[in-house]
Structure 1
Amino acid sequence: MITRFLTDVRVKFNPFSPRSKSARLFLSLMPPSARSNGMKIESQMLPRHSKEPAFLGLKFKDGKEMKLDLDKMRITEVMEEVDRHSRQLARKEELLGN
């Protein structure tokens, strides 16, 4: 997963719910140096009996924001969405010569 174009990651999930697996896996895919490289990562744990759906909010360097409902998405679908926009940003960066 291409994470170098992410600036802000917000995750809200119930760690005890099986439907929150995508949220837990997404957080595990973040590189250890993400925070030191300037990425803001916020995670909110919901109570055990919470019925609120898992949520992922992303912000990219170009200002685009993504809001994903993780209860309905598998981790592969989440990675595809993030990588799709990251590849577009990488292409733009390459064409500009930065």
Structure 2
Amino acid sequence: MITRFITEVNTKINPFSAQSKSVRLFLTSLPPTARSQGMIIQTKLLARSAAEKNSLQVKFKDGKLLDLDCENMAIKSIIEECDRHSRALQKQADLADA
């Protein structure tokens, strides 16, 4: 997963819910040095009886905010969406450098 262009990750997780598996796996796919490189990672744990849904928001360097439906998307789809935008930003950066 291309994490160079991700600036912020906000999650709400009910750790007792099976539907939060995608969010948990997404968080584990982030590199261990992400926070030290400037990425802001905020995680809110929900109570077992919470009415709120699990959520995942990813913000990129260009300001785009992806609000992903993590309850209905598999981890592969979530990473694919993030990589799609990261590759577009990578292409813009390569063209700017050339």
The TM-score with structure 2 as length reference comes to 0.96
Equivalent position of 1:51 in the other structure: 51
Question: What is the DSSP-based 3-state SS (H/G/I as helix, E as strand, rest coil) of the residue aligned with 2:72?
Answer: coil
Q: Deviations over 1:9-54 (max 9, x none)?
A: 0010101100100010011011010000000000000001223221
TM-score by length of 1: 0.96
Aligned residues: 98
- Gap regions ≥5 residues in structure 2: none
Contact map agreement 1:53 1:69 (CA 8 A) in 2: no
Q: Partner residue of 2:6? A: 6
Please, which runs of 5 or more residues in structure 1 have no aligned partner? none
1:1-98 to 2 correspondence within 5 Å?
1-97=1-97
1:69 Cα deviation after fit = 1.7
AA partner of residue 64 (structure 2): K
Taking only the aligned residue pairs, the percentage that are identical comes to 51
